[in-house]
């Protein structure tokens, strides 16, 4: 028999197990956008963006970010409840912003 543990708090999960499935994918056609970026009008813009990314260290090493991603998590009832209330951790981000001020 398979034993699951909560991906958030690590406790053993019994029958009341919750599964979170996340799918992230571009809602546009990445090929199309790239072709547009190659237009002369955009070249300057693109090189500026690349330069900025290099100086800020936010440069992407590969194209992985544009591909679809799937995540799957097992959660206990408590964590599921907390997760469902704030799936994007917006509360946590807000708190972080406040502490930075
Ligand atoms: Zn949990």
Q: For residue 14, what is the enclosing H or E element? A: none
What's the 6 CA to ligand 1 centre distance in angstroms? 5
Model confidence over 77-86: pLDDT tens digits? Answer: 999 999 999 9
Rg for the chain, CA atoms, rounded? 20
The domain spans of the chain are 4-100
Which of the four pLDDT bands, split at 50, 70 and 90, describes residue 22?
A: very high
> How far apart are the CA of 64 and the centre of ligand 1, in A?
30
Q: How far is the CA of 95 from the centre of ligand 1 (A)?
A: 22
For residue 47, give both structure tokens: 């090189």
Instruction: Tell me the CA–centroid distance for residue 1 and ligand 1, in Å.
Output: 20
Q: In this predicted structure, what is the pLDDT of residue 17?
A: 95
- For 3-17, write each residue's pLDDT tens digit: 899 999 999 999 999
pLDDT at 61 over 80: no
Residue 70 pairs in a beta bridge with: 23
Query: Which two three-digit tokens encode residue 61?
Result: 């090493």
What predicted TM-score, i.e. pTM, was given to this entire model?
0.56
Return the beta strands (E) in 2-97 as ranges. Answer: 4-5, 12-13, 18-24, 69-75
Confidence of residue 99 (pLDDT cuts 50, 70, 90): low
Higher-scoring residue by pLDDT: 51, 15: 15
CA of 99 to the centre of ligand 1 (A): 26
Helix axes 30-37, 40-56, angle to 10 degrees: 100
């Amino acid at each position: 028999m398979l034993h699951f543990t909560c991906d958030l708090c690590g406790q053993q999960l019994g029958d009341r197990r919750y599964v979170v499935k996340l799918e992230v994918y571009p809602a546009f056609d990445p090929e199309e956008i790239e072709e547009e970026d190659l237009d002369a009008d955009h070249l300057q813009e693109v090189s500026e963006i690349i330069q900025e990314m290099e100086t800020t260290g936010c440069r992407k090493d590969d194209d992985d970010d544009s591909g679809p991603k799937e995540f799957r998590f097992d959660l206990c009832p408590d964590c599921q409840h907390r997760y469902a209330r704030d799936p994007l951790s917006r509360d946590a981000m807000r708190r972080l912003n406040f502490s930075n001020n």
